[in-house]
């Protein structure tokens, strides 16, 4: 049993007021989260290179120790990714985006759609992707408060990020539509490896 078992509505701090409804709810896909947010493949490669260097110098014990440390680290990253996926719920309503996050200490972050200036969609393949939210004006959301649900390296002006979503293009399109209805002058675009090219409507195509 966890504190989330007592939520009046899954992923939300309370009952929805009259006139508000849930458009979609999602959670991070843990394998994609581990790969994209925790850089697990890069870390595995780093330890592999260190082990090869140790082997090249004839240090078999050192190589074994390095591989063991790398395996332990990968196990910890897997555990963390699974826990994040189990305790995180992203909710889009017709009025706001809610991030219910936190493994040890849970919290809900409410982001009214009218305060979202743009949403950047970056694909990770197979329909998975992240959606980073740029907020209008100044806000009090700190990077440490948001992490790991924060866009990397945006320390001065942190951006909430919906991480490792399955079917991300469809979810982003629904978010774009909801933002357009709540704030017609908002911009929702895709942030891909190549310059984003707008297509019909307020959202651009996502990278696969």
- Checking if the pLDDT of 208 tops 60, the result is no
Select the more confidently predicted residue: 67 or 153.
Answer: 67
Contact yes or no for 130/175 (Cβ under 8 A): no
- What pLDDT, in 10s, does the model give residues 111-162? 999 999 989 999 999 999 999 999 988 788 899 999 999 999 898 889 999 9
Mean pLDDT of the chain: 86
The model's pTM is 0.83
- Checking if the pLDDT of 202 tops 80, the result is no
- What pLDDT, in 10s, does the model give residues 5-45? 667 889 998 899 999 999 999 999 999 999 999 999 999 99
DSSP 8-state class, residue 19: T
- Checking if the pLDDT of 72 tops 60, the result is yes
Q: What is the mean pLDDT of residues 74-93?
A: 97
- Distance, in Å, from the CA atom of 56 to the CA atom of 63, rounded to the nearest integer, reads 9
pLDDT at 106: 87
Asked if the 3-28+89-190 domain carries CATH number 2.30.29.30, the reply is yes
Q: Which residues contact 158 (CB under 8 A, 6 or more apart)?
A: 141, 142, 143, 145, 146, 150, 151
- Write the DSSP assignment of 57-75 as a string of letters: TT-HHHHHHHHHHHHHHHH
Q: What is the mean pLDDT of residues 73-92?
A: 98
- What pLDDT, in 10s, does the model give residues 175-199? 999 998 886 655 555 444 333 333 2
pLDDT at 18: 93
- Distance, in Å, from the CA atom of 18 to the CA atom of 145, rounded to the nearest integer, reads 30
Query: Residue 92, Cα to own-chain centre: how many angstroms?
Result: 14
- Checking if the pLDDT of 50 tops 50, the result is yes
The domain segmentation of the chain, as residue ranges, is 3-28+89-190, 32-84
């Amino acid at each position: 049993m966890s504190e989330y078992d007592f939520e009046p509505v899954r992923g939300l701090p309370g009952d929805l007021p009259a006139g508000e409804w849930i458009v979609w709810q999602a959670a991070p896909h843990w394998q994609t989260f581990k790969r994209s947010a925790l850089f697990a493949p890069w870390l595995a490669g780093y330890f592999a290179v260190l082990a090869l260097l140790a082997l090249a110098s004839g240090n078999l014990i050192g190589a074994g120790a390095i591989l063991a440390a790398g395996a332990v680290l990968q196990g910890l990253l897997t555990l963390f990714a699974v826990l994040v996926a189990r305790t995180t719920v992203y909710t889009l309503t017709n009025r706001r985006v809610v991030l219910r996050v936190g493994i040890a200490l849970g919290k809900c972050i409410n982001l009214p759609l009218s305060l979202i200036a743009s949403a950047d969609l970056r694909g990770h393949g197979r329909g998975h992707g992240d959606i980073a939210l740029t907020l209008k004006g100044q806000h009090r959301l700190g990077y440490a408060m948001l992490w790991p649900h924060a866009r990397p390296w945006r320390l001065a002006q942190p951006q909430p990020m919906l991480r490792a979503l399955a079917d991300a293009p469809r979810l982003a399109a629904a978010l774009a539509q909801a933002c357009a209805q709540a704030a017609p002058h908002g911009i929702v675009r895709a942030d891909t490896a190549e310059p984003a090219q707008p297509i019909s409507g307020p959202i651009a195509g996502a990278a696969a």
